[in-house]
Amino acid sequence: MPYWWAACFAAFLASFICTFVLVRFLIDFFSRRGIVGIDVHKPNRPAIPEMGGVGVVVGVSLGILIAVAMNFDWLVKLFAFLCVFWLASIIGVIDDLFVLRAKIKTLLTVLAFIPIIVFALLFPSEIVLGRPVLPFIGRLRLTIVYWLLLPFAIAVPSNAVNMMDVFNGVMSGCTCMASLALLIASIILGRIEAAVICSSLFGSLLAFYYYNRYPARIFSGDVGSLSIGAAIGAVSIIGGLEVVGVTVLMPFIMNAFHSLRSLGGLLERREISVRPISVGANGVLKANLSMEAPSTLANLFLRKGPATEIELVKCYHLMEAVSCVLAVIVALLMGVKF
């Protein structure tokens, strides 16, 4: 077994076990302290412990630190990733505990790209920016456009993932598939450090999905969704997987676009007075046809007819699965010399 394969496996196993064990503890810990959220898509509106994303942050961090211990040559890229990841998780913790306004939260996630800039300036041979690879075209040299878009490379994934964390298992299941697709793409293109990061991310999300799937025993909270979205954005930049990252995030971006367009701007979910869907007494979900209701993917799915939460979650997962297959195809095309 090649050495980097061993590191990927170690990162996956460590993050999976750590998250699986820690989240089980967090369920009781947050329940006893009243850190809970209401599952609004259940008729009885149960209180579910939140901030389970702490388990993902710890698990991913442990997996990557173990990989660094196995090969110090990966230190720069892996630590640059961790700095972005930790910064986004801190923003999420603050939002979970004190509730930030939507625009403030977005601004803070925009600033989360700064560690990548710092590491790129300090270690230009390790982290190369402005040279994305496109299928059929090859490597580009972007000096201005790339740097103008870079501040959004963390903010967009973070907030898009956060906006789709609304149903049991949707965010965790979709990002689990996304991290697996990025892992496969990393292996295809020989991006070893990105493969290590994605292995750790995949292991942690797989463990968290076990607790977050329907019926959810714990929610990720913003500490989870913001940090996971930032992780996907960061590994896409650091690993030179920008096009692959955009492809796996297409359902998240579509959901965010429809929501923002219908709302007319950024709003915290607590500030939205009209919900996009309604919940019947039997638990069946229906689209809210009011013109004031946000046009989320759920609202669009349910316009074809009522559905249960499980059926709706499957629609999200199917969309993400298609995006992940396309992302792997994109990676294959990126590896072809034209």
HEC string of 76-100 equals: HHHHHHHHHHHHHHHHHHHHHHHCC
Asked if residue 50 belongs to a domain, the reply is: yes
For residue 119, being part of any structural domain is answered with yes
In a domain, 38, yes or no: yes
The pLDDT confidence band at residue 336, using thresholds 50, 70 and 90, is low
Q: Flag the least confident range among 44-53, 77-86, 145-154.
A: 145-154
Q: 29 lies in a domain?
A: yes
Q: How many domains does the chain have?
A: 1
Amino acid 299 reads: N
Q: By the 8 A CB rule, do 120 and 127 touch?
A: yes
Structural domain includes residue 33: yes
Asked whether residue 282 is assigned to any structural domain, the reply reads no
The pLDDT score that the predictor gives to residue 272 is: 61
* Residue 285, helix vs strand vs coil: strand
Whether 83 maps to a domain, the answer reads: yes
198 vs 295 pLDDT, higher one: 198
Q: What is the pLDDT of residues 255-312, one digit of tens each?
A: 988 777 766 555 556 556 667 788 988 889 998 887 767 778 888 889 889 999 999 9
Read off the pLDDT band of 337 (50, 70, 90).
low
Q: What is the pLDDT averaged over residues 156-171?
A: 95
DSSP reduced 3-state for 214: coil
Report the SS3 class of residue 207.
Answer: helix
Encoded tokens for 122: 């300090």
Task: Residue 96: give the domain boundaries.
Answer: 3-266+309-334
Assigned domain for 184 exists: yes
Contact in structure between 92 and 36 (CB atoms under 8 Å): no
Say yes or no to pLDDT of 148 above 80: yes
- What pLDDT was estimated at residue 1? 46
